[in-house]
């Protein structure tokens, strides 16, 4: 790592250069941490918003499923009623036909 330290006459680097460097690094680190914290908080807000949207979509999906099930049940009831009506109509038609046969058969004797 490159550093901006000047050499000291005795024992290493210029103390003020090292202190200035460390202070600048601390400021950069604090700034980066603040930025990352802000991004984290925004991500958490977005995540919570998406969770709420998902919950609402799931509630709507469940409501649609219930409505579809009710519609299927209503359709089945209508088909059963139609079948009963068709059966009753067929019975009435058969009874009329048998009646006509009896009337025709009885008048021929």
- CA pair distance 5, 27, nearest whole angstrom: 18
What does each of the 109 residues of the chain score in pLDDT, given as a tens digit?
A: 566 766 666 667 788 888 999 999 999 999 999 999 999 999 999 999 999 999 999 999 999 999 999 999 999 999 999 999 999 999 999 999 988 888 877 665 4
Determine whether 18 is exposed, middle or buried from the number of CB atoms within 10 Å of its CB (0-12, 13-18, 19+): middle
pTM > 0.85: yes or no: no
Please identify which residue in the block is written with the tokens 């005795």. 10
- CA pair distance 27, 33, nearest whole angstrom: 10
The DSSP secondary-structure symbol of 109 reads: -
């Amino acid at each position: 790592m490159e550093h901006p330290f000047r050499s000291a006459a005795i024992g290493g680097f210029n103390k003020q250069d090292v202190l200035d460097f460390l202070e600048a690094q601390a400021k950069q680190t604090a700034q980066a941490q603040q930025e990352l914290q802000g991004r984290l908080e925004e991500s958490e807000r977005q995540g919570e918003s998406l969770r709420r949207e998902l919950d609402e979509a799931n509630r709507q999906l469940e409501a649609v499923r219930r409505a579809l099930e009710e519609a299927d049940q209503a359709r089945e009831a209508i088909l059963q009623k139609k079948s009963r009506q068709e059966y009753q109509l067929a019975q009435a038609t058969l009874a009329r036909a048998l009646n006509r046969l009896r009337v025709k058969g009885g008048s021929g004797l």
